[in-house]
Amino acid sequence: MARMKKRAVKRPLVLAITSILFLIGGIVSLISLLILMFSGSSLVSLFQNPDIAKEEIVIATTFLLYFLIISLIVAILDIIAGVGLWKARKYSGIIGLISSIISILMAVFLIQVDFGFSLLYNLLEIVLLVKSWKYLS
């Protein structure tokens, strides 16, 4: 029996960088979400503060819950996009664009917290994704 040799894939540098950025972004987001979900100390202090009305606590926890769910979905989409981009699949480009646009919309709310880093990171992902689009099949 003849052994089949694996052919080395020549991946364009811009596609490899884009894929790695999506993977890093997704993994870092998942780790951050896990830390945020299991810390919970800020919510406990909210519930113990008598100066804050119950309605405000409900609004804050509801917002946090929606934010966590959307962030989890975006993180998973980033990882799927990163793996697909590594394999040069067109569906991953579409998923990457969708997750980056959602991330940019979320980053607008967080610009005071991270000084616009998320916004710039996602804009860089989109620019690199557009540049590497021709290599996707």
What would the pLDDT profile of 29-49 be if each residue is shown by its tens digit?
999 888 877 776 566 666 676
Domain assignment present for residue 54? The answer is yes
Model pTM? 0.82
Q: Quote the DSSP letter at residue 134.
A: G
CA atoms within 13 A on the CB side of 18: 32
Domain assignment present for residue 4? The answer is no
Domain assignment present for residue 5? The answer is no
Evaluate whether 70 touches 105 at the Cβ level (below 8 Å).
Answer: no
pLDDT of residue 34: 86
Domain assignment present for residue 3? The answer is no
Domain assignment present for residue 131? The answer is yes
Domain count, the chain: 1
Domain assignment present for residue 8? The answer is no
Neighbours of 86 (CB within 10 A): 18
Domain assignment present for residue 68? The answer is yes
How far apart CA 7 and CA 57 sit, in angstroms, is 58
Domain assignment present for residue 6? The answer is no
Host domain of residue 114: 13-135
